Every structure is written in C-alpha cells, then in structure tokens.
C-alpha cells in the first residue's frame, strides 16, 4: 500500500509540474490562406467549412479550446497540429509545386470521401466540425474542379 501511495503522489507531482510548461502555440498574425483561396477559388461556404473543420490542424492558425491550457492535453493537441501541418498546410500553399498541390487535393478527396478527416477525436469535442453530407459533397466537387487547374498548369492570374 505504501508504495502505491508514493507512486500516486509522484504522478500528481509530475502532473502539477507539467502545468508550468506548455508547448508553443500555432498562431501567426494575419491570414496566410490568401494565396490558397485565390488559386483554388472555394465558395464562401466552402471556405467556412475548411476553416471550421480543417484549419485548426492544417494551417498556421489554430483556434485553441480552453482545455488547451491543461497539460498533457496541450501536448496532445500540439502533436496533432504539428503532424497535420507536416502533411498539409493551407497557409503554405504557395510553397507547394503544381504536382504536390494536385496530389494534396487527391488526398483530400480520399480522406474526406472515406470520412477519415476531420479526426474523430477532434469531432468528438468539436461537434460542429463534423462534415455534413452537403459539406462533404461540396468539398469533393471543389476538389474535382480544382485539380484540373493543376493538371493543366492553368493558374488564375
Ligand atoms: C485534429 C486535427 C486535424 C483536423 C481537424 C483535420 N486533420 Fe487532416 N490530418 C491530421 C493529422 C494528425 C494527419 C496526419 C496523420 C494521419 O493521416 O492521420 C492528417 C492528415 C491529413 C491528410 C494527409 C493524408 C495522407 O494520407 O497523408 C489530408 C489530405 C488531410 N489530413 C486533410 C484534412 C481535411 C480536408 C480536413 C478537414 C475536413 C482535416 N484534415 C482535418 C489532423 C487533422
């Protein structure tokens, strides 16, 4: 019993100590998705959908929930954001080649079509981020239309 008490006390102390350290936040001033918007021309409602359902993990600006102030949840969120951005960052759209953009759109088609994104751990807490059938179709239609731009290399001026 004694040893159990010591272990629990140790765990509590570690959790308390963790509260003093928080990972750097993914926030940068300004809207960095201007180029993405210009090139791919999403409708306003589609842009809102991407913002509400994807940008938290796939852009340079995360809208953090209050529980991000609690460690280790903050680390878990930071991990998702970092990994999400490594795969796809709408704020860095201009850094991708035409081929890469085409490929990313194809991946968006796959993950949205297969309902793999947004992550279920995310929609569990952000119910409003779960895609409705209409939003899903809107994304899929837009992907089809937009991929042609990159396949033909015909960017809007
Ligand atoms: C809670 C964070 C989070 C949200 C919200 C989110 N993603 Fe992701 N996404 C990730 C992570 C983490 C990965 C990398 C690991 C993986 O594939 O599960 C990823 C990977 C991806 C990939 C690459 C898949 C591959 O096969 O490499 C695409 C494309 C993608 N997400 C699109 C989206 C779209 C579109 C939305 C919104 C409808 C979205 N994501 C919402 C975290 C997120």
pLDDT digits 0-9 by tens, 112-124: 999 999 999 999 9
Q: Does residue 78 lie within any of the structural domains?
A: yes
Residue 140 is assigned to a structural domain of this protein: yes
- Ligand 1, pocket-test mutation among 45, 47, 58, most atoms within 8 A of CB: 58
CA pseudo-torsion sign 24, 29, 31, 33: negative
Q: Is residue 157 part of a domain?
A: no
Average pLDDT over residues 144-153: 90
Reported as a single tens digit per residue, the pLDDT across 44-83 is: 999 999 999 999 999 999 999 999 999 999 999 999 999 9
Question: How many A from CA of 105 to the centre of ligand 1?
Answer: 12
Per-residue confidence (pLDDT) for residue 152, from 0 to 100 = 87
| Position 22 confidence tier, pLDDT thresholds 50, 70, 90 | confident
For position 31, what pLDDT does the model report? 83
Residues with a CB atom less than 6 Å from ligand 1 = 53-54, 56-58, 80, 83-84, 87-88, 107-108, 111-112, 117-119, 122
Classify residue 33: in a domain, yes or no.
yes
For residues 41, 33, 106 and 154, what is the CA-based torsion angle, rounded to 10 degrees?
Answer: 50
Output the pTM of the full model.
Answer: 0.92
- Rounded to the nearest angstrom, the distance between the alpha carbon of 117 and the centre of ligand 1 is 6
- By residue range, what is the domain housing residue 33? 2-152
* Total domains, the chain: 1
């Amino acid at each position: 019993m004694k040893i159990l008490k010591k272990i629990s006390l140790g765990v509590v102390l570690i959790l308390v100590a963790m509260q003093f350290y928080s990972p750097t936040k993914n926030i940068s001033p300004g809207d960095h998705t201007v180029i993405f918007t210009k090139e791919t021309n999403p409708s306003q409602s589609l842009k809102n959908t991407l913002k509400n359902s994807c940008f938290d993990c796939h852009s340079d600006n995360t809208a953090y929930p209050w529980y991000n102030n609690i460690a280790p949840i903050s680390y878990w969120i930071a991990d998702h954001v970092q990994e999400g951005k490594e795969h796809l960052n709408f704020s860095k759209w201009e850094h991708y080649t035409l081929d890469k953009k085409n490929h990313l759109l194809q991946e968006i088609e796959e993950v949205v079509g297969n309902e793999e994104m947004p992550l279920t751990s995310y929609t569990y807490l952000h119910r409003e981020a779960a895609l409705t059938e209409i939003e899903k179709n809107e994304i899929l239609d837009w992907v089809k239309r937009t991929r042609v731009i990159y396949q033909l290399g015909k960017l809007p001026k």
